[in-house]
Each structure stands twice: as structure tokens, then as C-alpha cells.
Structure 1
Amino acid sequence: MKYVDLVIDNNSRHTDDLFTYATEEDLKTGQIVQVPFSNGNKVRNACVFATDVVPDPSIKRFKRVGSVDPDISLNEEMVSTITWMRQRYGIKYLDGLRAFIPNGKPAKAGKEKEPYKDVTGETQHIDALTVEQRAAVEEINGAIDACRGESFLIHGVTSSGKTEIYMRAIAKALSMGKTAIMLVPEIALTRQVIDRFIGRFGKSAIAVLHSKLTRRERFDEWMRVRRGEAKIVIGARIGVFAPLENIGVIIMDEEHESTYKSDQTPKYDTVDIATKRLMYYDGVLILGSATPSVVSYERAKEGIYKLIELKHRYNETPMPHISLVDMREELKHGNRTIFSDELYRAIKDNLGDGRQVILFINRRGYSTFISCRDCGEAMKCPECGISLVYHKSENMAVCHYCGKSFVVPDVCPSCGSRNIKYFGVGTEKVEEFTQKMFPEKVVDRLDLDTAKNNREITRILNGFSKGKTDILIGTQLVAKGLDFKNVGLVGVISADVSLNIPDYRSTERTFQLVTQVAGRAGRGNDPGQVIVQSYTPDNFALQAAAHYDYEGFFKTEIMTRNFMGYPPFTDLIVVEFTATEEAIAIDTASRCRDYLISAGLPEAEKIFEPVLSSNFKGQDSFRYHIMIKCPKGERNKYIYYIRFFGEQLITRKIKCNYTIDVNPYSAF
């Protein structure tokens, strides 16, 4: 009789452990089996995490493994990554396991659906590289060839030819019998990337993994990868969990984007997962961005990443000129509309010259909040406690946290007044105003409300790329790597939206958004024009963005981070406690803080008092969190003690759940 340790598919911290079972078969690590579990011996799926286990002699009888899944299995690298994730992020075994294993069923024979089956591929092979590109390719491909396991940060201006470098790195990996993962921050970008990659590598070599696929599509793509039929995986952040073996290179395009950090269970940072997986295969990590994250650039300065600079556009087109418009002056001159006079005239001139326009505002919906003018009460989600956003197209108030919609009341529920007003500007209002100002032009909108599936994303992007749409209005989706040839003007409706977010990264996000959205202009032979509207145009991040001065921005920002004790000089750990009774949530958070301080952890004075979370009221629950500025190198120790405290909650049957989020991107 042999013994194996299993992780059981039972989503509870009570069972977040390895369970020993007996078997007569030669099972391998990563195989999926069925086993009887708990007192009722209910059949559960389980994953083999260890073989050749020496059983506990105090246990006289072990339950036995049942059937083995013939299709789904992981390898040792994937299992070790799950174990590492549990230690690094404080997640459950099952959370990591579900990230790797698809949730769905295989299609019947002959019924498989191929994502992007209508994509024929864009043939675009560039023979003549620039001097900068050639040097980058030689250095990166040399590392792949020698299996040196190095990490590269490509800091390249927009349209500098980073994608060609990516494709040549992948080609090098494939030539050595290795595999590759190409990650993009938004699902909307996968279409353009797939088009170019199919043109270069062929359709059969590529699989697509992202959350907009149906469960069956994702399962079928997962199986193609696991069977070794696809050697390249393209996707959003979940693509990093693709069941590839012998990974030669993982590429993260627009590496600075917050979407690479998961704020849902399991809470992980994609770059960490990529780095861990590549260590097993001595593979190469490539991070690319025109505006690298402060953390990544500091790592490059420290020598953790090798820095590659691409300072010139591929076709030598000048960078677009960025103008900052002071909206305070517009108010002084009586202009209270969405468009400044300068932006309105620029839109009119560009449309008159046959060029297209992109208008950017990082707020979807029509109005950003609904309020009673008499008592001042703002309408909030009863489930989450978050201010509701008015969506005029649906005539509903929507919670952008949980997604629930509510009918807007005719009278204020607090004071009975009918004086209910809508405040703020979102993409819907900009679209309505733009259509009113330019009624003869075709206006479209790209945000999470319109980009609900692949078909709609494709329709919107194709309409704009083919010139059928004159003006495209969007959120940060339009700022991320999209390539359009006829855009003469980009207008940023309000740079203050991202600048005023209560988050230590707000200036970094603003610099990145302005620089990235500016890169959508001037991609043909014309340098293009960018107009940024703001009530604080003297802010250092906006001034640096207007002059494309990343180095100047970085020097100011890194000094502030160091002084304030923010990443990359610390790890921010947020531990959130959720309970049906508010007193239990806050009391548990307080006791956790007291316990961590008493444990003698380094710099315990930087464990802050419990605070009501911004999404303070979930469904029949209350949320409080503590924030820790954890010293560099002490992260695992803090996670260990937090998990130990969490185990005591289970032992003492305290009805309070907790989650751990390391370096979160969402504001608390």
C-alpha cells in the first residue's frame, strides 16, 4: 500500500491542509483523483500534492483514493507554485489550485469552439530592426539561448517596436523546443495581439486564455495547451497559470497596469507568479512599458532587472505635443462645459481634416454620484456602502463594486425631498455631449459597459480602425496599447480623476495614463496632438508627462515613497476582516493587530489601527481592515503570523472571515 497527500476540493479554511490517503496505484504529483471525504464520505475531487508519504503511525486506518481523472492533471512545477503562493499570499491551497485548473467541461467531439476563429492573421514581418531593437533582441535572445533565467525591463516609448522584440524572443524560445506566454493587461487588447501573432506563428500554435471566454471555450483551450498542441499562450493575467511545460519566456506588455494585480481571490501579483514559474525552467521574463511602474524601475536600478531603453519611435515620428489646459481659467471666462475652448477647436479642426479623435475619461457611467440637494445624502449601494453611479442608458444607479443595479428614487429616502441631482462626469455624459456638439459625426464608446463580450469589443475597435467611427470615447481601455493609424488628437477630459484618488500611487497612475493615452496619437506620419484638461496643471506628474520626462517623474516619486515608507521600500499588507456583526469585525481586527505587535515583529509600530473598509458593508456583512507597512524581507514572517492568528479564529469558532492582500492596487 502506498500513501499520498492530497488537497481536497472543499472551500473552507477548516480543511486548508494536506490529507493523507492510501492507494495501490502509482500516482504522480498533480494528478486529479476522487476520494471519500469527511464523516459522510461524500465524493470529492482532490489533487495529489505529495507521493511516497510516510503515514502517521497513530492513525490506524486511512481512506482510499478512488478513480483518477484521465484528462486533467498538473505537473510538479505547478504544484510547487501553488504551495509557494499559499506561503507568499496567505491564500488557501484550493485558491491556488483553482487558478491553475479550468472550471468547465469539455465540448463533445467535433463541437469544440475556437476563440477568434475569424482572425486570419496580420502578416507584418519586419526585417530591418532599429539599432535599439537589434541590441535588445541580441541581449534577450542570448539569455534565452543560454537558459540564464534573467529578467528584462524594456522601457520603450510608445510605438518604439517592443512587440517585434517580443515576437523574436518567442521565436527563439520555440526554436529551442520551449513554450511561451504573452500577457496583455486588458482583454480588449488580445484581439490585436492575436492578429499579429497568428500572422507570424500560425493559428495552431496559439491558445487564448482570458476571463471573457465561456467556461467551455476556456476548458477546450486549456486542454489544447495541456496536450502540448499550443506552444504559445496569449491572454490577460490568468494566462500566467497556463499549463505549459518547459516555459522559455513570459512577456508582460504594459507591465505597469494595475490589472496584473488580482484583487479577487486568489489575490496575487502576476509578475510574482511569472518569476516563480520561470525559476523552475530557467526561463526569461520580459516586462515592457513606456511608463514602467516605480517598483519595476527601482528593481532595474538595483540590478534585479536588466534595463533596456528604446528612446526612439520605430518610424522616427516625433512624439505628440501635449498641451495642459487650466480649467480654472475656463471657469473664469464663463465656460462650464465639458470641453475647454482649446479642446473644442482642436476636435473641430481634426475632424475637418479627416482625422479621428480619441477622448479619454477614466470614469464610466453618466454621473459619478447621485445626491439630495436638500439634505446632502448620497445614494449608496445597500450591499457595499459604495456611492452609486448613474447610468443614463439604463436609467439605473449601478454599484461599480458588486455590479448590482437599483432604480433611482423619485424622492430622497432620508428626507423625502424631490430635489435629487446628478453630479460628476462619466463616459456616457461625454458621449452625449460630444454627439450634441458634432451631430454629423459617428461617435462610439469603449468602456466596461460596452465591452461586454468579444463581439462588442471587436465591433467597436474595427469600426474605429476602419475609419467608420470619427470619435472614440473611452476609459483606460483606450490608453492601453491600441494602435490606430489616423488619430490626430487625443483629449483627456479630466486628469484630476486619477490624480485625486486616495491612493499613494495616484500621481504614478496619472503620469502613466496621460503618457499612455498620448501614445495613441500621431501613429501615422503626423506627430498628432494631445490636450489634457486639469484644475491642477502645475502638478509635477502632469508637468513631467507633458514633457515625456519619465526620469524626472521617477526621481521625485521615489523620494516621496522612501520618505513615506511605501513600496518599493516596504510591502503593504492589508488584512481585511468580514463579519455579520460590526462589533465582531472591528474587535477581531483590533485583536489581530495586538497579537502581531505582541509577537515582536520588526517595525510593529507600523501596524495601523483598524479602519472601516471603503466597501464597508458587504452582503449582510461588515468589513474592517488593518494596514501594515512591512519592512522589506519580512513579508513571509508577517504572513506566517497572520495565518496563525486566522487559525485561532477557526479553533475558537469566531464567526469572522479574513483575507490578506499584499500591495493592493485598490484604494482602501
Structure 2
Amino acid sequence: MKYVNVAIDNKNDNTDNLYTYGSHFDDIQVGSKVTVPFAKGNRVRTGYVFDVLDHLEEEIKGLKYIESVDEEIRLSTEMMDTCRWMRKRYLCRYIDGINCFTPAGSVSKRGKERRPYKDMEGEGRFPPQLTGEQAAAMAIMEPDIKSKQHEIFLIHGITGSGKTELYIRLINSVLEEGRNAIVLVPEISLTTQVIQRFIGRFGPDQIAVLHSRLSLGERYDEWVRIRSGQVRIVIGARSAVFAPLRDIGIIILDEEHEATYKSDMAPKYDTVEVAIKRAKSYDGLVVLGSATPSVSATYRAEQGIYKRVELTERYNQVALPMVEVVDMRQELKAGNKSMFSTALYGQMKTCLEEGQQVILFLNRRGYSTFISCRECGYVMKCPDCGIALTYHKAEQGAVCHYCGKTEPLPTACPDCGSKYIRHFGTGTEKVEEFTAELFPDYPIGRLDLDTIRLKGSVDKIINDFRKGKTKILIGTQLVAKGLDFKQVGLVGIISADVILNIPDYRAAETTFQLVTQAAGRAGRGDKEGKVVIQTYNGEHYSIQAAAQQDYQAFYHTELMVRQSLLYPPFSDIVQVIVAAAKENVCINGAQQVLGALERELGEEFKHQIFPPQPLLINSKKEHFRYGILIKCPKGKRGTCLWAVDKIKRAVNIGKKVPFSVSVDINPY
């Protein structure tokens, strides 16, 4: 006879506890999926075992017993420990953490193998000779693999310096030790290129892939292959950090600075933190790689929390691209009202005539960025989300880039009835149209969320560009992340100011990273590349530093700004979100929560709790959301989260409370 503590699969704060049951299954283990009678009606519910006990300290009257055990979905002790840790760190429910580890989909009824990428051919089968810098980096990191020493390494390597080859060599060392590896990339669009390289070196049978663009059946079968030990390497986007691997020897996060590594859905986890937690359980390495590391990562390296490894030269020994910053205010004064400066047009013409390729980067999709009335100033917004709609010419409609809702274009202003309602601004769709008019003889591709909706479309767009079928590739940040094209001679950044103007303390950091990363796509072959940066704010330190490829100049300026304003890495930002169906209820609820926070946190946090503000994006279910920000100085996180969790539970467990509370720690 055993006793077990079980978390019930029920998304409700009222039942977010561990419930004790008896078990006649003597082989039951931590991580077992079970069915149990639950609550007064004894309805059969699914649950997961967190603890197995030989006896109880006190007898439980009316003890209930487990009805069945599903051994197909058993999780490991390490996974269950990580779930418990996530609940404490992110203030989520037990089941939210468990759902990260359990597979979507189910067994194929036809017994068909659903294996993505099984027919993909690898590339780069023969390992290249390491550069002196790469060999030195291996000498620093490899001994910790051999000795099973948990360490966190930050590889700061300029674009084209050979970080991927280091990842492959490190994983090879891990496999030689009989251990396993996880490789994470920030965008699904990058997985194919990474998979090709890894298949070329390790073969297809050792590799599994996990990301959200796979079908549910494919994801289920990959999960089973991983858990059963058939594969040694898992490649994927953010959620692959939860792959059911055992004996993890290394977890690699390429482009560690990317915001996509932070989940914006429950549980709102940070992939880097989860990777460190899992790797530490197995005494494995965590390797963070980037040409533009996040400010927080570099600061941790300076503090000795991470070990820093630098790659300062490109693998092919070609110099970094020549960068020219163009002031669009001067272009306007000179009579050029087009979206291309004279310099960009001239460089494109020369580059294309020489047989090279061009990438144009603009971090705005659609045709025009907003629709407004010139008479009264009305801006067309999504009725569900409250954010400005974007005009898409191909769909002849106004599209919400958050929920996807499409509205017809009005012929008159809904507010004042004026006929002077027009679309303004520039998106990638408009850039594509304009480019086609200027360069009709050169095939154009576009890579953004509008062109990659169909399965396989990402790979087709990228492969067509790699093979030279398209000569000009226009895109959003998807084109700026990790893609390696040998024939790109020019990168044009249409507007470097787009990110600078968003209400986020990371705006300067994101601008520097995107401009630097986009510029890094040029000159990766045998010739030095060129970059043209168009801006209305060329004096800004992030753009100046990006133009000079000077990370240290940017970092030190940004760190001073962060320190003076107590932003990360000098604090944690805790966002307490109050949501309700009615605005007045939401506002009143937010004020109640604010008062409770001020009472619980006291004088010490008096100047670090900020009044409720309406959030930019609201969900359909609970249309109104207000956020309360708390700047939590280092060393005070535990105190802050204890108070926040107490208030959150008091609200969400209360009967007939007309609003709800959720939490996001260090939100984007």
C-alpha cells in the first residue's frame, strides 16, 4: 500500500493544491499520470503524482484511492521538480507546469509514423578546421562536459564568427559521454537551417524536432521518440526546453537575447531560467550564444554568474560590412519623398548588377501601419484588443496583428463621417510593391508572418533565396535572425526608428540588436558586404553603436540608464494584471489590488509600486485589463512574490469576485 500526493488537471486556483490518495499500485512513481475520484461528486479526473509515501503521518478519514495509472505519459522526477519550481518562481498552477511537459496529440490510429524532417538531407558533413578563437573557446568549455560540472557560458560572437560549429562540437563531446542535448532557436523559421546542419553531422536518427508548426500527431510521436530514448538531440523553439530527455548534458540557446524566449501565455516562464534549472539537475552545461547579448546576460557575466567566451573575428576572415547611416530628414529636404534614400537605391542597383543579393529589413508587416481620419484624428482600432489595425492591401482590409481579426475598410470616418480617412505608414507589403516598380527585372521574396502561414512556406522562401531564384528578400525581424546566405552583398534597413518608439524600457536594446543582427546578414561570403541604415534619429546612441558594430559602447551607456532608473538587471519587474469584463469593475479591482500591495509590501516598496495603467492589448474573454508594475530591487524578489501570491490567491479563490488577477515576471 502506497500513498501519493496528486495535482489535479483542473485550471482553477481553488483546486491548485496537492491531494492525498491511497494507491494499490505498488509500482506507482513520481510523475505517473493517474485517474482519481475528485471532490464531493467523485467525478473521475486526471492527475499527476508529485510525491509517493510509504505511510501517512496522520490518518485521513474517507481516504480515496487511485483508479488507474497511465504509464504511457509518465514524467521523470526531474520534470516534476521543475514543475514545482515553476509554480513558486512564476506563481503559476501545478498543472500549468505539467502541461509544458506532456505531449499534445495522441497515438496514430492507423499506426502511421508521423516523423517530420525524416527525408531531409543534411549539409556540411565534414567538420571544418577550427579557428584559433574557436579552439580556445572549446578548451574553456569542454573540460566541464568531461567532469560533469554545471556551468553557464555566454558566447559573445560577432555575426559569422562560427558559433554554430562550436555548438556542434560541444554536443559531440556530450554524446561521447553518453549524455543528451537540447538546442533552442528563437524562431521556428530558423529550425530548418539548424536541422540541416545537425543532420549532416549526426544523421537523422539521433535528432528529434519540437515546435508549434508541427501537426499534433507529429509532436506526439516526436515526444514518444524522445522519452523512449530513441534520440539524443532535440532541436526546437522555446517549448523544446521541456523535451522529455533524461541525463541532459547540455542545453544551448542560440540568439539568447531574443524576446521570443519569454512566454507570454500561462505559465509565463523565461526559457533561460528553465534551461538553467533543468541542466543543473543533471550537472549539465547551459550555453547562451549571441552576437548582441542581452544587457542582463552581459551584466551577469561581469558579476561572475556566467562565464564569458568571446569570438571577435568572422570565420571566413572577411571584415564586418561597411555601414552607412542616412538621415532621412536630409533626404526629405533634398526633395526625396520616397521610402528609399538615394544611397540605398544606388547601392541596390550596383549590388544587383554585380550578381549579388539584397535583403531589405523593416520590422512592420502589412501595407500601411494604421488607418486614420485627417479631419478628426480618429484611428481605427481592433474592437477586441484595442490596438491600431494595419491595412493589408492583399486582403483589402484592416487586420489586427494580435488576434487576427479583419475589418472592412470604411469609406467614411466612423466618428465624424468625413471622407478623408486614409491609411498611413509603411509595411513590408508596401516595400515589396515599391521595390518591384524600381527593380522589375529582379525576382522578389517576402518573409513575414503574412507569407509563412502555410506549412512549408518558410522553407520555400528561404530556399528560393539561398539558391538565387529570388534576388531581393524583404522581411520583418525574421530575416534578421541567424540566417546564413553567402551571396548577400547589401542589407538595407528601411527605418531603424520603428522599435525606438515603442513604450518599453528595452526599446534601445532591441533597436541595437535588430540593426546589428540585420547588418550581420551582409558579407558572409567572400566579399565584404555593405549596409545602409535609414533613420530620422541618427544621433541616438543605440543606432550610432549599431552602425559602428560597437557592443561595448552601447552596453555601457544602456547600463547607466538602467541603473539610474532601477530597471533590470538591477531589479525584477513584476506586473500584476487585473482583468474584468467591465471597465469600471476592472478599474475598481485594480485599485483594491494596489491598496493590498501597498499594505503588504509596506514602506520599503513605497516608491517602487506604480499605479494601475490600461494595458495596450486586451483579450476577448475579459475585455479590460489594467497592469500594476512593481520594481523589485535585487534581493527582494522573494518578499515581493510572497505578497503578490497571497493577494492573487485571495482574489482568485474568493467567491463571486468580478475580476481576476494574474502575474507576469519581467514581462515583454
TM-score by length of 1: 0.98
Which residue is 2:425 aligned to?
424
Which residue is 2:656 aligned to?
653
Cα contact 2:579–2:622 (8 A) shared by 1: no
Which residue is 2:389 aligned to?
388
- 51-60 or 378-387, which deviates more: 51-60
One-letter identity of the residue aligned with 1:190: T
Which residue is 2:616 aligned to?
614
The residue correspondences of 1:357-506 to structure 2 (distance < 5 A) are: 357-506=358-507
Cα contact 2:361–2:475 (8 A) shared by 1: yes
The residue correspondences of 1:493-572 to structure 2 (distance < 5 A) are: 493-572=494-573
Task: Report whether the alignment pairs 1:6 with 2:10.
Answer: no
One-letter identity of the residue aligned with 1:655: P
CA distances 1:596-643 after superposition (whole Å, capped 9, x unpaired): 221245434201111111114644521001000001122232222112
Report how many residues are paired.
665
C-alpha deviation, 1:254, in angstroms? 0.6
One-letter identity of the residue aligned with 1:566: Y
C-alpha deviation, 1:291, in angstroms? 0.4
Cα contact 1:603–1:631 (8 A) shared by 2: no
Residues of 1 paired with 2:642 and 2:55: CA distance? Answer: 26
Residues of 1 paired with 2:655 and 2:600: CA distance? Answer: 19
Residues of 2 paired with 1:604 and 1:403: CA distance? Answer: 40
CA distances 1:166-211 after superposition (whole Å, capped 9, x unpaired): 0111011111111000000000000000000001111010000011
Residues of 2 paired with 1:10 and 1:616: CA distance? Answer: 24
Question: CA 1:505–1:53 in 2, change beyond 3 Å: closer, same or farther?
Answer: farther
C-alpha deviation, 1:128, in angstroms? 1.7
Task: Report whether the alignment pairs 1:117 with 2:97.
Answer: no
Residues of 1 paired with 2:190 and 2:198: CA distance? Answer: 12
Matched position secondary structure for 2:166 = helix
Task: Report whether the alignment pairs 1:222 with 2:209.
Answer: no
- 628-637 or 309-318, which deviates more: 628-637
Q: Percent identity?
A: 53
One-letter identity of the residue aligned with 1:608: F
Cα contact 1:4–1:20 (8 A) shared by 2: yes
Matched position secondary structure for 1:95 = helix
CA distances 1:88-110 after superposition (whole Å, capped 9, x unpaired): 11111111111111121122464
One-letter identity of the residue aligned with 2:190: L
Task: Report whether the alignment pairs 1:276 with 2:277.
Answer: yes
Question: CA 1:15–1:658 in 2, change beyond 3 Å: closer, same or farther?
Answer: same
Residues of 1 paired with 2:74 and 2:361: CA distance? Answer: 44
Matched position secondary structure for 2:229 = coil
Cα contact 2:33–2:74 (8 A) shared by 1: yes
One-letter identity of the residue aligned with 2:633: P
Which residue is 2:642 aligned to?
640
Task: Report whether the alignment pairs 1:256 with 2:257.
Answer: yes
Cα contact 1:577–1:588 (8 A) shared by 2: yes
Matched position secondary structure for 1:587 = helix
One-letter identity of the residue aligned with 1:20: T
The residue correspondences of 1:15-94 to structure 2 (distance < 5 A) are: 15-26=15-26, 27-52=28-53, 55=56, 57=58, 59-94=60-95
C-alpha deviation, 1:289, in angstroms? 0.5
One-letter identity of the residue aligned with 2:7: V
Cα contact 1:382–1:617 (8 A) shared by 2: no
Residues of 2 paired with 1:587 and 1:543: CA distance? Answer: 45
Task: Report whether the alignment pairs 1:294 with 2:295.
Answer: yes
One-letter identity of the residue aligned with 1:86: R
One-letter identity of the residue aligned with 1:22: G
Residues of 2 paired with 1:620 and 1:589: CA distance? Answer: 14
Residues of 1 paired with 2:600 and 2:252: CA distance? Answer: 40
C-alpha deviation, 1:147, in angstroms? 1.1
Residues of 2 paired with 1:72 and 1:497: CA distance? Answer: 46
CA distances 1:341-392 after superposition (whole Å, capped 9, x unpaired): 1101111111111110000000111111111222211111111111111111
Cα contact 1:384–1:619 (8 A) shared by 2: no
Residues of 2 paired with 1:403 and 1:170: CA distance? Answer: 40
Which residue is 1:629 aligned to?
631
Cα contact 2:609–2:629 (8 A) shared by 1: yes
Residues of 2 paired with 1:392 and 1:55: CA distance? Answer: 67
Residues of 1 paired with 2:618 and 2:33: CA distance? Answer: 38
One-letter identity of the residue aligned with 2:667: P
C-alpha deviation, 1:465, in angstroms? 0.2
The residue correspondences of 1:137-286 to structure 2 (distance < 5 A) are: 137-286=138-287
Matched position secondary structure for 1:173 = helix
C-alpha deviation, 1:582, in angstroms? 1.6
Question: CA 1:346–1:562 in 2, change beyond 3 Å: closer, same or farther?
Answer: same
CA distances 1:533-575 after superposition (whole Å, capped 9, x unpaired): 0001111111111111101111100011000100000000111
Which stretches in structure 1 are left out of the alignment for 5+ residues? none
Which residue is 1:662 aligned to?
665
Residues of 1 paired with 2:31 and 2:101: CA distance? Answer: 11
One-letter identity of the residue aligned with 2:649: E
CA distances 1:308-367 after superposition (whole Å, capped 9, x unpaired): 010001110010011100000011011111101110111111111111000000011111
Residues of 2 paired with 1:216 and 1:405: CA distance? Answer: 30
CA distances 1:476-495 after superposition (whole Å, capped 9, x unpaired): 00000000010010000000
One-letter identity of the residue aligned with 1:476: Q
Which stretches in structure 2 are left out of the alignment for 5+ residues? none
Residues of 2 paired with 1:337 and 1:18: CA distance? Answer: 63
C-alpha deviation, 1:261, in angstroms? 0.7
Matched position secondary structure for 2:71 = strand
Residues of 1 paired with 2:530 and 2:143: CA distance? Answer: 39
One-letter identity of the residue aligned with 1:651: G
Matched position secondary structure for 2:538 = coil
Cα contact 1:322–1:531 (8 A) shared by 2: yes
Residues of 2 paired with 1:273 and 1:647: CA distance? Answer: 24
Residues of 2 paired with 1:409 and 1:87: CA distance? Answer: 49
Task: Report whether the alignment pairs 1:317 with 2:318.
Answer: yes
Residues of 1 paired with 2:609 and 2:54: CA distance? Answer: 40
C-alpha deviation, 1:415, in angstroms? 1.9
CA distances 1:473-528 after superposition (whole Å, capped 9, x unpaired): 00000000000010010000000001111111111111111110111000111111
- 474-483 or 600-609, which deviates more: 600-609
Residues of 1 paired with 2:55 and 2:268: CA distance? Answer: 33
Question: CA 1:370–1:61 in 2, change beyond 3 Å: closer, same or farther?
Answer: same
Matched position secondary structure for 2:73 = strand
